[in-house]
Amino acid sequence: MSFGRFSIIGIGRAAFFAIGCTLSNPAEDLKYLFPDMTSYKEDLKEFPKLADGKAQFQALRERLGSDLDPIYETYETPYTIYYVFKNSKKIGLVHGVNVPGKGGVIQVFLSVDPASAQVKKFFFQRLESSAADQLRSKEFRNQFDGVSLADFYKHDYYVAAKSKTSVDKIAKITPPKIDPSGRQDYDATIRGIRKNLLLLDFFVYDRKFEPFFERAKQKAKQ
């Protein structure tokens, strides 16, 4: 039997676990994504270990715009960021998150450009859905190439401003042709990509896209 790998960190004696999202076979998977890779490094991030963890977690919820799952998106959930190297040069950054879908957890992974934080490749590790084939299709996934967290914030801004523009990359994304039963998993996927980019912005990029969020927030208040 094969199952997606997930890490469990026990918190206390009670049956309470924080379930993270890691690659099933990091060495193989990363080599598949980056054939030039010579080494990789794992960096485990957890909100409780941050000085302002509670505030950051609250900020994540606010920027995500939805409640967090009580099991798979808890304060204690660990996040593993994979840094990929070609000799001493950092050539990639890979990160996965769990998001609750209709058929259990969906594991949404992003490979981003270390310098620009733009998506280079989006893929699933675990996805059980009536729309699995459509969501896994390259046509759908390739639409996210080059997208960054700034694009999600900009999209929020344009939605608040009720304006349509050709620079809104998120608005241009075409959902795959799925029947209504798969819609929940499509929405979970989009939420997963946004959450993934948000966490990377928090943990790796020192919240460099924050001005875009503030702008969208101001617009929404108007």
Partner 1 sequence: MFQFTRFIGLAIKNLRRRMIRTALTISGVALAVAVAVSLGGFMLGYKGAIDKSIEMLGFQVMIMAKGCPYEAATMMLKGGTGLIYLPSDTYDKVKSDPDIESITPIFVGIAQKEGSGIRDEASQEKSFTIISGIDAPSFMTMKPWMKFKGGPGFEGGRWFSAGSKDEVVIGFEAAEYEQRKVGDIFYASITPAGSMTPVRHEFKVVGILERTGTQDDGTVFMPIDTAREYFNRPNQLTILGIKLKEFNQFKMHEFESRWLKLPEVQVVGLQQVKNTLVALVATAQTMIAAVAAIAVIVALIGVINTILMSVYERTGEIGIMKALGARRRDIFELIWLETLVICLLGALLGCLLAMLGTGAVEKAIKSLANLGVNGSIVNITPGVLGYAVLGAVILGFLGGLYPAWRAASMRPVDAIREGAV
Binding residues (CB under 8 A) for partner 1: these are 1-4, 6, 8, 15-16, 19, 23-24, 29, 32-33, 69-72, 98, 100, 102-105, 107, 109, 123-130, 132-133, 136, 138, 181
- State the minimum distance, in angstroms, from the CB of residue 69 to partner 1: 8
Which residue number, 126 or 155, has a Cβ lying nearer to partner 1?
126
- State the minimum distance, in angstroms, from the CB of residue 6 to partner 1: 7
Give the C-alpha separation, 179 to 5, whole Å. Answer: 29
Give the C-alpha separation, 145 to 194, whole Å. Answer: 13
Tokens of 83: 């840094």
Sheet holding 119-126, edge to edge: 39-45, 79-86, 89-101, 104-112, 119-126
Tokens of 32: 């598949």
Give the C-alpha separation, 127 to 104, whole Å. Answer: 8
Which residue number, 32 or 167, has a Cβ lying nearer to partner 1?
32
Which residue number, 128 or 210, has a Cβ lying nearer to partner 1?
128
- State the minimum distance, in angstroms, from the CB of residue 67 to partner 1: 12
- State the minimum distance, in angstroms, from the CB of residue 117 to partner 1: 20
Which residue number, 28 or 214, has a Cβ lying nearer to partner 1?
28
- State the minimum distance, in angstroms, from the CB of residue 156 to partner 1: 29
- State the minimum distance, in angstroms, from the CB of residue 8 to partner 1: 8
Rounded to the nearest angstrom, the gap between the alpha carbon of residue 55 and the centroid of all alpha carbons in its chain is 19
Which residue number, 6 or 40, has a Cβ lying nearer to partner 1?
6
Which residue number, 171 or 184, has a Cβ lying nearer to partner 1?
184
- State the minimum distance, in angstroms, from the CB of residue 141 to partner 1: 9
Which residue number, 107 or 148, has a Cβ lying nearer to partner 1?
107
